[in-house]
Amino acid sequence: MNTEIMVELTYLISAILFVVGLKRLQSPATARAGNAIAAVAMALAIGATVVDNQILSWTEILIGVAIGGIIGGLAARMVKMTAMPEMVGLFNGFGGGASALVAIAEYLNATHGGTAVGTSTYGVSIMLGTFIGGLTFSGSMIAFLKLREWMTGNPITYPGQKTLNALMFLGVIALSVMAMGVGGANPVTMFWVMLAVSLVLGVTLTIPIGGADMPVVISLLNSYSGLAASAAGFVIMNMVLIISGALVGASGIILTMIMCKGMNRSLTNVMFGAFGGTANIDKSQIGKRPVKRADAETVAMELGYAHSVVIVPGYGLAVAQAQHELRKVGDLLEARGVDVKYAVHPVAGRMPGHMNVLLAEADVPYDRLFDLDEINDDFPNTDAVLIVGANDVCNPAARDPKSVIGGMPILDVDKARRTIVMKRSLSPGFAGIDNDLFYNDNNLMFFGDAKQSMADLVKAVRELA
């Protein structure tokens, strides 16, 4: 068998293994093996490429691999689980950036002798790869800065923003056509201008999106990074690149839709609605009504003598680093014979599935975690619900179509016999509105810092008879 067929077959096996690896992600029990299979697929694809291509100089390649390997390895080992959204945001950018660079280098190689690429498949693929990759790169950097809070989470808007963005998009199309050699302008110059406009567009499309909507944005940019890889695949006509890019593209768009559904917003509304900051909401009337307060001992009695308890963790829990104490409370309650479940809302963390990872880190078994659809029917038969650092995701106002969060799927915690909200104050969540749940007759407010309150609760549950 000749080398070419061997190489192509290796690419085919690699593509199959990527799909098999992703399929294993359908259960936490097989997921780790699935990730390893995908890594093998990657190694095969890289091996086949090295065999297939005459590598003129290894030095440069090894330098690139060494730099990337060290940075990637350190980042993967050191990143805190709470910072996963930033890391994924940054990596989306690198994925897009790498694909754009491939397209750019290919364009420069092709036009080296003064020949234009022409309006061919090849030319169009280069333009698409450069545009999507460039936009993904700069957009991801903004998403990273917003998530890291090195930049304001409030939407940045200015008059004519949408028109300007639309004009820039049309500009990219026109410049791309000229960069392929149509119209007589210097194609290479037009190409650089097109790249610059793509990078600017990535920034101007991301800055009007509020911090609370970043989970949607990083999911969407995740999808784009895949599409950019596919476009790079069309440039060099490599099927494994096209296939893997398509898989990532599909994954990102599915997660984007799930997050939009979790917030009851359309993708258009997230992208162009400039929502998600809390700058323009009147907060003067919030938290003025009377509530029932409880201390750790009361809460311990409510939970300790219940048959069934559902715990609703929100991002405030992770901010306070209280997930380990929470798990201790859960364990103590289970030891007393209480049925303990955890209810995780789709937007509980700062990215899809984030809260589940934070709870897994605190050794909460994954078979005790339930999503919204799985647990909502259980609330009427639940004795007590403990809500820790969550707010909007259990605000009954979502049932009122006129509310800002009207129609958002919520956890029906108010249908349980007793609710206990652990929170610093009555301040509103991301949506910026008051939560009627706090003022219900069967609700208790357990005020304080989540970590301290949890520690007090652990002690109080231990002291129960």
Partner 1 sequence: MGELMIGLYVFTLATLAGREVITKVPPTLHTPLMSGANAISGISIVGALVVAGRAEGTLQIVLGVAAIAMATINVIGGFMVTDRMLAMFKKR
- Which of residues 91 and 446 has its CB atom nearest to partner 1 in the complex? 91
HEC secondary structure over 340-368:
EEEEECCCCCCCCCHHHHHHHHCCCCHHH
Using CB under 8 A as the binding rule, whether residue 173 contacts partner 1 is answered as no
Using CB under 8 A as the binding rule, whether residue 186 contacts partner 1 is answered as no
Q: What is the pattern of x (binds partner 1, CB under 8 A) and - over residues 93-112?
A: -xx-xxx-xx-xxx-xx--x
Stretch that binds partner 1, among 231-239, 321-329, 434-442, 455-463 (CB under 8 A): 231-239
CB of 184 to partner 1, least distance (A): 25
Paired tokens of 137: 């790169």
The reply to whether 441 belongs to the active site is no
CB of 189 to partner 1, least distance (A): 15
- Which of residues 155 and 245 has its CB atom nearest to partner 1 in the complex? 245
Paired tokens of 319: 């901010």
Question: Interhelix angle for 214-235 vs 121-147, to 10°?
Answer: 150
CB of 5 to partner 1, least distance (A): 17
By CB under 8 A, what part of segment 241-280 binds partner 1? Answer: 241-252, 254-255, 258
Using CB under 8 A as the binding rule, whether residue 91 contacts partner 1 is answered as yes
CB of 166 to partner 1, least distance (A): 27
Question: Interhelix angle for 214-235 vs 239-263, to 10°?
Answer: 160
Which are the contacts of 431, defined by CB distance < 8 A and separation ≥ 6? Answer: 392, 395, 404, 405
By CB under 8 A, what part of segment 363-402 binds partner 1? Answer: 363, 365-369, 371
Using CB under 8 A as the binding rule, whether residue 237 contacts partner 1 is answered as yes
Q: Which of 353, 436, 439, 449 binds partner 1 (CB under 8 A)?
A: 353
Q: Which of 213, 392, 412, 456 is catalytic?
A: 392
CB of 350 to partner 1, least distance (A): 10
Stretch that binds partner 1, among 228-236, 282-290, 296-304, 315-323 (CB under 8 A): 228-236
Run of H or E including 144: helix 121-147
DSSP state of 440: S
| Burial category of 110 from C-beta neighbours within 10 Å (exposed 0-12, middle 13-18, buried 19 and up) | middle
- Which of residues 195 and 454 has its CB atom nearest to partner 1 in the complex? 195
Strand partners, 340: 309
- Work out the angle at residue 227's Cα, subtended by the Cα atoms of residues 222 and 232, and round it to the nearest 5 degrees: 125
- Which of residues 12 and 168 has its CB atom nearest to partner 1 in the complex? 12
CB of 432 to partner 1, least distance (A): 26
Using CB under 8 A as the binding rule, whether residue 431 contacts partner 1 is answered as no
Stretch that binds partner 1, among 287-295, 300-308, 309-317, 361-369 (CB under 8 A): 361-369
Question: Interhelix angle for 214-235 vs 84-110, to 10°?
Answer: 30
Backbone dihedral region of 287: left (phi > 0), alpha (psi from -120 to 50 degrees) or beta?
left
Which are the contacts of 361, defined by CB distance < 8 A and separation ≥ 6? Answer: 81, 323
Q: Which of 6, 9, 36, 166 binds partner 1 (CB under 8 A)?
A: 36
Run of H or E including 388: strand 384-388
Using CB under 8 A as the binding rule, whether residue 77 contacts partner 1 is answered as yes
Using CB under 8 A as the binding rule, whether residue 39 contacts partner 1 is answered as yes
Q: Which among 421, 260, 269 has a CA at the least distance from the CA of 347?
A: 260
Using CB under 8 A as the binding rule, whether residue 202 contacts partner 1 is answered as no
Q: Which of 6, 67, 279, 319 binds partner 1 (CB under 8 A)?
A: 67
Using CB under 8 A as the binding rule, whether residue 220 contacts partner 1 is answered as no
Which are the contacts of 30, defined by CB distance < 8 A and separation ≥ 6? Answer: 24
Using CB under 8 A as the binding rule, whether residue 134 contacts partner 1 is answered as no
Size of the site for partner 1 (CB under 8 A): 112
CB of 101 to partner 1, least distance (A): 4
Q: Which among 9, 20, 235, 15 has a CA at the least distance from the CA of 132?
A: 235
By CB under 8 A, what part of segment 300-339 binds partner 1? Answer: none
Strand partners, 387: 312, 421
Q: Which residues are catalytic?
A: 392
